[in-house]
Chains A and B, each alone.
Chain A
Amino acid sequence: MGPEILRDLTFDIPRRSFQFLTGPSGAGKSTLLRLLFLSLQPTRGLVRTFDRDIATIPRDELPMLRRRIGIVFQDFRLLEHLTTYENVALPLRVRGKEEASYRADVLDLLKWVGLGERINVLPPVLSGGEKQRVAIARALIDRPELLLADEPTGNVDPPMARRLLSLFLELNRLGTAVVIATHDLSLMDQVDARRMILSQGRLDIYE
């Protein structure tokens, strides 16, 4: 077993809350996001997600719980053979929804993130910022109860970062709890939100 990355943390992510998760590289942000995304179990201690102890959730229940969480990966994780539109629609497609039922929503969201003209473009042709916006749109499309975003504005210019932040805030107003992991102080300064600062495995929370 490797070194203990996080210890003595006690916190909750209330419903409809908005918070930034920050801290130096290697502080454990990634591990914390993995715990919240149900892709890691704690070696000790208790993590409850949607009122369930994540260490005891059976494997076959994970997909249903993950559908309630939207995640923006730092490395985007887009499928390169699918277009912008198809990548964003993917979470709805795997839920077995008919395309006609979500087409308008996907197109609206793509317009909102400034990709209305890029719906038929494949990821290899997109810039880093465009890929990031596709990844964000994919995480938002099914209005998750919890949104985890890892450096979601790392590859976009300040105006687009503000636009994306307002998208997260809008989603939060509609009822989604949002956790944004970021190093971007200027982004955090734009919103009066809870700050969770990880340092040397410990967590300080500034309400």
Chain B
Amino acid sequence: MSEGAKQQPQQPAPPKRPEMRVRPTAPIVPPANVAGNALMCVIAIMAFLACLTYGAVSMVRATAASWQSQISREITIQIKPDEKLDMEAALRDARDLAMTFSGTKDGQIIDRAATARLLEPWLGEGLDLDELPVPRLVVITIDERDPPDFAGMREALAQTIPQAVLDDHRTWVNRLVAMAQTTAWIGTAVLVLVFSAMVLTVVFATRGTLSGNRHIIEVLHFVGAEAGFVASEFQKHFLKISLKGSFAGGALAAIVFAAAGFWQTRSLATPQSDQATALFGTFSVGVGGYLGIAATMIVIALLTTLTARFTVMRTIFEIDRIRSDPARTDGLPDS
């Protein structure tokens, strides 16, 4: 090499191009698309409605049961005034007599002040009970599971205090039981309908979303993926979607119940709250209600996942079935 060449400044080496880095491997099923988001919304809405219905029905059932329980827990002895009768003594006698029967728990005489309060809506304030022949009441608390012998008590009262009348509320109790049972049945029927609608909606929405992914199933199948592998990829994807959707819907329903319960507690003894309580009972769904909401979420997640698996397996079955039907050319390579 010549001297001149040695003196030439050395050319800088071209910058080495950095090695291209591969991005983190994406899931085989696209993580988010419009159809997937729509399915998530459908699941959230159906979960919300189903949980709301479940909570409402359990609330109605509890309310109906409490009406029935409250009214059948008490009987009343009514003593009509009579000139010959010492009312206070008769009330005490009636209570003592009733308490001798097994199945009674407690006896309470409605005193004059309480009786006046009872009549206040009709007769106004400042009522003098001595001026009016107002019957007086004894309320007896009974054991619902082991009620006393009403016929025997009625007979004993008739012999001791002829002016006493025993009201065991059976007519009302029977009507209320019938009404409570009807309400509970209607609630259950509504629940079944809403759950059926939820099942069908979730199944069809899942299948609809999957139909947009048929090309992925085909490609995977044609590059040698086993049906179980393809199904598990889609299952994972749809499990995520359904868990997100059902959690959102279930949580929203739980929040609605918690908020309604909170409102009721805060506005206790106000006319609005009393009205709502009379109509709907307390807005508390209890631990059972929240467990039901959780169970609904799990059912939806399972349903979506199983539908995804079943649909994928069926799609693969269809693709393979075309093998034996040369008239069909869908889903096959063209040339």
| Chain A residues close to B by CB (< 8 Å) | 1-2, 5, 29-31, 33-34, 37-41, 43, 59-60, 62-64, 66-67, 71, 73-75, 77-79, 81-83, 85-86, 89-91, 93-96, 99, 103, 107, 116-117, 119-120, 138, 150-151, 181
Contact = CB atoms under 8 A, between A and B. Distances in A.
A77 B22 contact: no
Contacts of A75: 333-334
A90 B327 contact: no
Interface in B284-328: 317, 319-320, 322-324, 326-327
Given A29-B335, A81-B26, A94-B229, 18 more contacts: A2-B326, A38-B323, A39-B319, A40-B332, A66-B224, A67-B224, A71-B333, A73-B334, A74-B333, A74-B335, A79-B215, A79-B219, A91-B223, A107-B20, A119-B20, A120-B21, A150-B333, A150-B334
A120 B326 contact: no
B334 A120 contact: no
Interface of B: 20-23, 25-26, 28, 30, 215-216, 218-227, 229, 317, 319-320, 322-324, 326-327, 332-335
9 contacts: A29-B335, A37-B333, A39-B333, A60-B227, A107-B22, A120-B20, A120-B21, A138-B223, A150-B335
A77 B215 contact: yes
Contacts, number: 115
B26 A82 contact: yes
Which A-B residue pairs are the 4 nearest by beta carbons?
A: A67-B224, A94-B225, A30-B335, A81-B30
B333 A63 contact: no
A86 B26 contact: yes
B327 to A, nearest CB: 5
A120 B333 contact: no
A43 B326 contact: yes
Nearest to B216: A79
A119 to B, nearest CB: 6
B222 A71 contact: yes
Contacts of A60: 226-227
A77 B222 CA distance: 10
A73 B221 contact: no
B227 A63 contact: yes
Nearest to A151: B335
A77 B224 contact: no
